[in-house]
Chains A and B, each alone.
Chain A
Amino acid sequence: SQTIHQWPATLVQPVGSPLSLECTVEGTSNPNLYWYRQAAGRGLQLLFYSVGIGQISSEVPQNLSASRPQDRQFILSSKKLLLSDSGFYLCAWRVIAGRTGELFFGEGSRLTVL
């Protein structure tokens, strides 16, 4: 069966420090991968999605970047964190061949920037 893992689960970082959140999917190949952010009391905002290795699409201009170095690995990064980067980050995947296209989510990473 397919599983998705995110780490770290919790992260407290000072303003201006770098960030790296990792997401790995197991049990499937060539998935679509997504990074969402959920700010306190708000819905989910799509940050990046990827349809293949090295292919990254950005939804909103921001301080963050994403990379997909391997088929089932998706990384969210920042060179210098801002206070506004605080939030709950969710990685998700989808089977491309599946018609209904629901997303399966990881456990999430709580980022607090101080």
Chain B
Amino acid sequence: AQTVTQSQPEMSVQEAETVTLSCTYDTSESDYYLFWYKQPPSRQMILVIRQEAYKQQNATENRFSVNFQKAAKSFSLKISDSQLGDAAMYFCAYRSSLYGGATNKLIFGTGTLLAVQP
């Protein structure tokens, strides 16, 4: 079974600085999808960025980028120019590319709580 591990329960960053959140996963599949979700204090989960495993190029969304290392099964999130609004719980998630049945679900890590210091 696939697993997702986030080894940093909490992180802190100064405003305008850069921070990297770690995520590793375990799978025997070669094609899959990886996601980073943000959960602010309002509690609604928001998709930050996605990566398709067959793409070698790292995904980027404005100040958010990933470092996808397929062989190492690592998927870290880098937040540049951190802002106060970035303070939230961040979840890494995995989904198989196969269709149907149990493979439709997203598997989440336990999250990293990011604090942004002014």
- Interface of B, secondary structure class, is mixed
Say if the beta carbon of B60 comes within 8 Å of chain A: no
Residues in A72-114 with C-beta less than 8 Å from chain B = 88, 90, 92, 94, 99-108, 110
Q: Which range holds the interface residue count of chain A?
A: 20 to 34
What is the count of residue pairs linking A and B with beta-carbon distances less than 8 angstroms?
56
Cβ contact within 8 Å between B91 and A100: no
A101 cross-chain contacts in B, Cβ below 8 A: 33, 95, 104, 106
- B47 contacts A104, C-beta separation under 8 Å: yes
User: Number of B interface residues, CB 8 Å?
Assistant: 24
Tell me if B45 counts as interface (CB < 8 A to partner A): yes
Residues of A within 8 A of B42 (CB): 107
Cβ-based interface call for B68 (8 A): no
Query: What residues of chain A lie closer than 8 Å to B75, measured between beta carbons?
Result: none
A49-B45 CB under 8 A given contacts A100-B50, A100-B52, A101-B33: no
Which residue of B has the minimal Cβ distance to A103? B106
Bound CA–CA A32/B46 (angstroms): 18
Asked if A43 and B44 make an inter-chain contact with CB atoms under 8 angstroms apart, the answer reads no
Q: What are 27 A-to-B residue pairs whose CB atoms are below 8 Å?
A: A36-B108, A43-B91, A43-B109, A43-B111, A44-B91, A46-B107, A51-B101, A88-B43, A90-B45, A100-B33, A100-B50, A101-B95, A101-B104, A102-B35, A102-B47, A102-B95, A102-B106, A103-B45, A103-B47, A103-B106, A104-B47, A105-B44, A105-B45, A107-B43, A107-B44, A108-B43, A110-B43
Q: Which A residues have a C-beta under 8 Å from some C-beta of B? A: 32, 34, 36, 42-44, 46, 49, 51, 57, 59, 88, 90, 92, 94, 99-108, 110
